Amino acid sequence: MGLQFRSLRILVLLICFLWRPRVGSPLSNSETKPAKALDTTLQEYAYRAFFHPRTGIPFDGLVPPYLTGIEISAMRLRSGSLFHRGVQTFKEFRVPTGIREEPYVERLVLVYQNLGNWSTTYYPLPGYTYLAPILGLLAYNGSDLSSTNLPELELWASNDPITIKFGQIRSKPASSHPKCVWFDRHGQVNFTNLEPDNQCLTYEQGHFSIVIESPPAPAPPEIAAPPEESVVTDGKENMPKVCTIVGIAGGGTILMVLMSLVIIWAWRYKKRKRIRELERAANAGEALRMTRVGSMRVPYAMATRTTPDLEIDFAS
């Protein structure tokens, strides 16, 4: 009986263990993916702003209606000019001399993003509160202004850092210490000191904002944490919920089927064990006797059984 209960417990644990990753894995990816997809979309729409492209002039673009609230702008530059002269102002950004890119391109386009009220949607940061919108600066190959799906170039400041001047930020509690936050191209988060006049410094491109640590939430963590489901765009918000329901229903069904199988198996095991016990009891009366053959003891049975065949070299 104890053995069967233990098997059942192990089975249930095994099911839970196997079940969890399937529910968890789509969510763990969703942190960076929507933001990456947004970059691709905004690159395409920013490039459309160039009707009569002139180098060094910012062109404000229009975002698709479903992204209302986001501002974009694009500036086309010759790589050499960017390196030698920098860009005095491009929205909140000041780009110094000495900027390099990899791979080298003759012309590049800097795409500016202001995510406005979409900042927390695309860049959720549990435990922190944004005091400013997310601002992005990304560099792309500027040779062909009709290209879409372009990979970002690697861009870095080899002398002075790039400055981001946020201007007005949301008022903060007196005791809090605002920090600059930087999301790099791979979605890595890093915090740096906030400079005077609400400025942040960076040696690389990416997405930037100013944050304070959120006061400890009184609610339980599963409610206090920003909902990961809301990261998904384009009306797919309900997908994870549906998955959970389907998962629970499916899991329940499988669990019931498995439990039935275990019960059947336990019943048959018990039956087989009983048959074996009966067999053993029946055989007990027919104990084997030992006899000597040469120097060895070998069993021999009663006359009712066939006598053991002794091989020649066995007997010698």
Contact positions vs ligand NAG (CB under 6 A)? 68-69, 103, 105, 117-118, 121, 141, 143-144, 147, 188, 190
Spatial separation of the C-alpha atoms in residues 202 and 180, rounded to whole Å: 10
**CB closer to ligand NAG, 8 vs 71:** 71
Q: How far is the CB of 189 from ligand NAG (least distance, A)?
A: 8
Question: Is residue 35 a contact partner of residue 122, using CB atoms and an 8 Å limit?
Answer: yes
**CB closer to ligand NAG, 92 vs 101:** 101
**CB closer to ligand NAG, 86 vs 206:** 206
**CB closer to ligand NAG, 56 vs 161:** 161
**CB closer to ligand NAG, 154 vs 279:** 154
Spatial separation of the C-alpha atoms in residues 295 and 316, rounded to whole Å: 9
Q: How far is the CB of 38 from ligand NAG (least distance, A)?
A: 12
Question: How many other CB atoms are there within 10 angstroms of residue 109's CB atom?
Answer: 26
Phi, psi of 182 (to 5 degrees): -130, 125
Q: How far is the CB of 175 from ligand NAG (least distance, A)?
A: 25
180: nearest Cα among 134, 220, 143: 134
Residue number of the CB atom closest to ligand NAG: 69
Amino acid identity of 265? Answer: W
Q: At what angle do helices 239-284 and 2-29 cross, to 10 degrees?
A: 160
Q: How far is the CB of 256 from ligand NAG (least distance, A)?
A: 42
Spatial separation of the C-alpha atoms in residues 42 and 124, rounded to whole Å: 19
Q: How far is the CB of 65 from ligand NAG (least distance, A)?
A: 8
User: What distances in angstroms separate CA 95 from CA 9, 114, 115, 155, 178, one per listed residue?
Assistant: 62, 17, 20, 11, 23
Q: How far is the CB of 147 from ligand NAG (least distance, A)?
A: 6
What is the C-alpha radius of gyration for the chain, rounded to an integer number of angstroms? 36
Instruction: Tell me which H or E stretch contains 135.
Output: strand 135-141
- 86's CB contacts (< 8 A; 6+ apart) are 94, 95, 96, 97, 98, 99
94: nearest Cα among 173, 195, 199: 199
Q: How far is the CB of 196 from ligand NAG (least distance, A)?
A: 19
Q: Tell me what percent of the chain is helix, strand and coil, each rounded to the nearest 5.
A: 35, 25, 35
Q: How far is the CB of 201 from ligand NAG (least distance, A)?
A: 10
**CB closer to ligand NAG, 16 vs 225:** 225
**CB closer to ligand NAG, 195 vs 247:** 195
Q: How far is the CB of 122 from ligand NAG (least distance, A)?
A: 9
**CB closer to ligand NAG, 64 vs 126:** 64
107: nearest Cα among 78, 144, 150, 74: 78
**CB closer to ligand NAG, 68 vs 253:** 68
